[in-house]
A = this chain, B = another copy of it.
């Protein structure tokens, strides 16, 4: 009876749903409990028995049913990550970090995308709760809509009540007392540093382009931008700030509009590298030289930054590291509680990387 695995049909078996632990037990002539124990190895099983069991397992091509296992109490060994878009390098690199660290810690990784839809984000958190993931990592800036914050806070509590953890990655806290962990990067500091660099090169009229309005990432970068201006005593000029979106397309089209208006400026701060790429293209199209005529900087230091010509001066964000830390923190035993305590919130630094897209402004 240990012989015939299953009566496989002509070429490929029909709807049989694969071997169960009971099949293995029968094939090996032991009880299911023994099989379970041999497989998990957390209980003594005689060597001969174990070998017989493993043989049956291979013969039958048995793999445990993860759902039954999860249901019976073992943990799911899965972490969920929610990002905007799988193909956006900013998120892709964070996802890579998450995926790598998760697999290093023996976890699977459930990756989902919101396509920038807040409600979908909320729904995805619930989906992950359904999946009983060990943690859910929420990546990227967040809307500051209070209703949204409240709803997310509820989810954080529900997750915590179920023994899981909500990790905020690169976004602001949901408020004190809400059970989350956080890993962020110094968004404001990077913006300050690169703006200050521009100023140190002699720029005074700097355009800020991109990033959705009412969005935490935009707010921080803009805060750093303004702080640098203030520190050097340069007046803020609202007409120089052009919020909108994070894509390359936005950078391109908005820059064209700006150029059409004939505004007065000597440098442009792209809200991220993609926006900067679009800006560069618009400039190139008009025959404006970078950096001789206009200087341009970006943010994130995504690979494309060094492919652009001129190579883009930008702010480096350790994206992959951010992802890794998120799962480390999530899986660590530290109690979650976003607050002032440093155990459950971690900030990684940013720094500017100087390449070829900035020079002192042209003397008029």
A176 and chain B: residue at smallest CB distance: B11
What distance in Å separates the Cβ of A208 from its nearest Cβ neighbour in chain B?
22
Nearest CB of B to A189, in Å = 25
A360 at the interface (CB under 8 A from B): no
| A304 proximity list for chain B (CB < 8 A) | 303-304, 307
**Sorted from nearest, which 8 A-B pairs have the closest CB atoms?**
A18-B162, A309-B309, A12-B179, A13-B161, A67-B70, A67-B67, A111-B111, A66-B130
Number of interface residues of A (CB under 8 A): 69
Our pick among B4, B154, B177, B336 for the contact of A163 (Cβ within 8 Å) is B4
Q: Are A99 and B86 in contact (CB under 8 A)?
A: yes
Does A92 sit at the interface, judged by CB under 8 A? yes
Would A130 and B1 count as touching, CB distance under 8 A?
Answer: no
- Give the distance in Å from the alpha carbon of A61 to the alpha carbon of B69 in the complex: 24
Whether A262 sits at the interface, judged by CB under 8 Å, is no
**Distance A162 CA – B13 CA, assembled complex (angstroms):** 9
- 22 intermolecular pairs with C-beta atoms under 8 Å apart: A4-B163, A6-B161, A12-B337, A13-B157, A17-B162, A18-B129, A61-B158, A63-B130, A65-B71, A66-B132, A67-B68, A67-B71, A87-B92, A87-B93, A87-B320, A92-B92, A96-B113, A103-B112, A110-B110, A303-B304, A307-B307, A309-B309
Select A108's contact among B4, B6, B127, B132, beta carbons within 8 Å: B127
With contact pairs A86-B96, A96-B113, A157-B12 given, residues A67 and B76 touching in the complex (Cβ less than 8 Å)? yes
A126 touches B71 (CB 8 A): no
Query: Do A160 and B112 contact each other (CB < 8 Å), given the known contacts A67-B132, A87-B89, A129-B63?
Result: no
Q: A110-B110, A307-B304 are in contact. Are A160 and B130 (CB under 8 A)?
A: no
By a CB distance below 8 angstroms, the chain B residues around A127 are: 108
- Residues from chain B with a CB closer than 8 A to the CB of A68 are 67, 71
Asked if A160 meets B109 with Cβ closer than 8 Å, knowing A87-B92, A99-B86, the reply is no
Contact of A177 among B12, B66, B160 (CB under 8 A): B12
* Contact among B87, B161, B177, B248 with A15 in the assembled complex (CB-CB below 8 Å): B161
Residues of B within 8 A of A99 (CB): 86, 111-113
Q: A6-B161, A304-B307 are in contact. Are A131 and B66 (CB under 8 A)?
A: yes
55-99 of chain A: CB within 8 A of chain B: 61, 63-71, 73, 76, 85-87, 89, 92-93, 95-96, 99
* Alpha-carbon distance A163/B16, docked complex (angstroms): 7
> Most chain-B CB neighbours within 10 Å: which of A87, A93, A99, A335?
A87
For the complex, give the distance between the alpha carbons of A61 and B162 in Å: 11
Alpha-carbon distance between A132 and B63 when the two chains are bound, in angstroms: 10
CA of A64 to CA of B131 in the docked complex: distance in angstroms? 9
- Determine the chain B residues whose CB is within 8 A of the CB of A13 once the complex forms: 157, 160-161
Q: Does A8 contact B (CB under 8 A)?
A: yes
A92 to chain B: which residues have CB within 8 Å? 86-87, 89, 92
Closest-CB distance, A172 to chain B (whole angstroms): 19
CB-CB < 8 A to A248: which residues of B? 303
Say whether A330 faces chain B, with CB atoms less than 8 Å apart: no
Contact partners of A307 in chain B: CB under 8 A? 277, 304, 307-308
- Is A286 interfacial (CB-CB < 8 Å)? no
Q: Which residue of B lies closest to A1 (CB)?
A: B73
Q: Are A335 and B63 in contact (CB under 8 A)?
A: no
**Contact partners of A17 in chain B: CB under 8 A:** 161-163
| Chain B neighbourhood of A86, CB < 8 A | 86, 92, 95-96, 99, 111
